[in-house]
Amino acid sequence: MRIHAIQTGTVAIKERQRRGVGHGLRRRLNTLVDKVWTEPLPIYAWVIEHPEGIIVVDTGETARATEPGYFPWWHPYYRLNVRTWVRPEEEVGPQLQALGIKPADVRWVVLTHLHTDHAGGLQHFPKVEIVVSLTEYQQASGLGGRINGYLRNRWPEWFDPHLIDFAPQPFGPFPSSYTLTQAGDVVLVPTMGHTAGHLSVIVQDGNMNIFLAGDTSYTQQLLLEGIVDGVSESDEAAKQTIGRIQTYLATVPAIYLPSHDPESVVRLENRSVVSVASDKIPMTQIQ
Ligand SMILES: [Zn+2]
């Protein structure tokens, strides 16, 4: 199976968003008042050439995000904590065309979560089945969603995603999962933390597994260190997810690909498998 990275521009965030400092509300406030910017980080979307059809994971950001007034002026995160650079030709639609893929021919678009830099390219997929976790969709709704920075008003009018509720069907260390393909080789798993309804996509390609992590961590290194980011609501949920992913990566050969890790594309090209210390494997799985 061929997998392509599509970089839809870059985003800079605060250093303490990438690597959270402190716990709970304090950790989130530390992000808001941090003065140190990261370098511009890639915004990746992923394209899987699957025998059952093309699967796009996340849609990246839109060039409109660089226009004044696109982000809500009243929102402290958008005022203080994020800078975005996207040119129109960097959007997911034109880049898919450049790969010889018509967006209308895509079989599924899966969104890891509904933050703007993952849902910004939705307008390129008006006729495509879009898969979102039910919990994430609910989180993004109403006033609570707006306060949490979801830009529901920027979603296309036709947006009516296929909402999935994870079945109590364990997948490795994950207590529930959703099998996307008939072949059973593309599996969605809940990875709550960065957002309450965040999911990750696991592609099983022969002996190799590709873990499309969304914003579960900003880099592979931060996952291995077990660091919670600076925006996750719940330390406990984020830590539990990090632990499950570490266990998964310790038990099968896998390439770990977060959406904003500048090394993700290098690891995909080189098929670099992450190596996790065996103390991350619970005893029950060693026996
Ligand atoms: Zn996010």
Residue 6: its H or E element: strand 2-12
Ligand 1 centroid to residue 82 C-alpha, Å: 12
pLDDT of residue 28: 96
pTM, whole model, 2 decimals? 0.95
Residue 203: its H or E element: strand 199-205
Give how far Cα 80 sits from Cα of 11, 26, 28, 39, Å: 13, 17, 13, 15
> For 168-201, what is each residue's pLDDT tens digit?
999 999 999 999 999 999 999 999 999 999 999 9
Ligand 1 centroid to residue 261 C-alpha, Å: 13
> For 237-250, what is each residue's pLDDT tens digit?
999 999 999 999 99
Question: Is the predicted pLDDT of residue 277 greater than 90, yes or no?
Answer: no
Ligand 1 centroid to residue 283 C-alpha, Å: 33
d(CA 266, CA 251): 22
Neighbours of ion ligand 1 (CB under 5 A): 115, 215
Ligand 1 centroid to residue 35 C-alpha, Å: 20
Residue 178: its H or E element: strand 178-179
φ and ψ of 258, to 5 deg:
-70, 160
Ligand 1 centroid to residue 215 C-alpha, Å: 5
Give how far Cα 124 sits from Cα of 4, 79, 153, 156, Å: 18, 27, 17, 10
Question: Is the predicted pLDDT of residue 285 greater than 80, yes or no?
Answer: no
Structure-token pair, residue 86: 């996207």
> For 62-78, what is each residue's pLDDT tens digit?
999 999 999 999 999 99
d(CA 228, CA 172): 22
Ligand 1 centroid to residue 113 C-alpha, Å: 7
Report the DSSP pairing between strands 2-12 and 83-85: antiparallel
Which amino acid appears at position 222 of this protein?
L
Question: Is residue 157 exposed (0-12), middle (13-18) or buried (19+ Cβ within 10 Å)?
Answer: exposed
Ligand 1 centroid to residue 91 C-alpha, Å: 17
Ligand 1 centroid to residue 284 C-alpha, Å: 33
Ligand 1 centroid to residue 42 C-alpha, Å: 13
What percent of the chain has a predicted confidence (pLDDT) above 90?
94
Ligand 1 centroid to residue 115 C-alpha, Å: 5
Give Cβ neighbours of residue 85 (< 8 Å, ≥ 6 apart).
9, 10, 11, 40, 66
Beta bridge partners of 6: 45
> For 142-171, what is each residue's pLDDT tens digit?
889 999 999 999 999 999 999 999 989 999
Ligand 1 centroid to residue 30 C-alpha, Å: 17
Read off the pLDDT of each residue in 50-57 and give the average, rounded to a whole number.
Answer: 98
Report the DSSP pairing between strands 106-110 and 129-133: parallel
Please give the mean pLDDT across all residues of the chain. 95
Ligand 1 centroid to residue 286 C-alpha, Å: 34
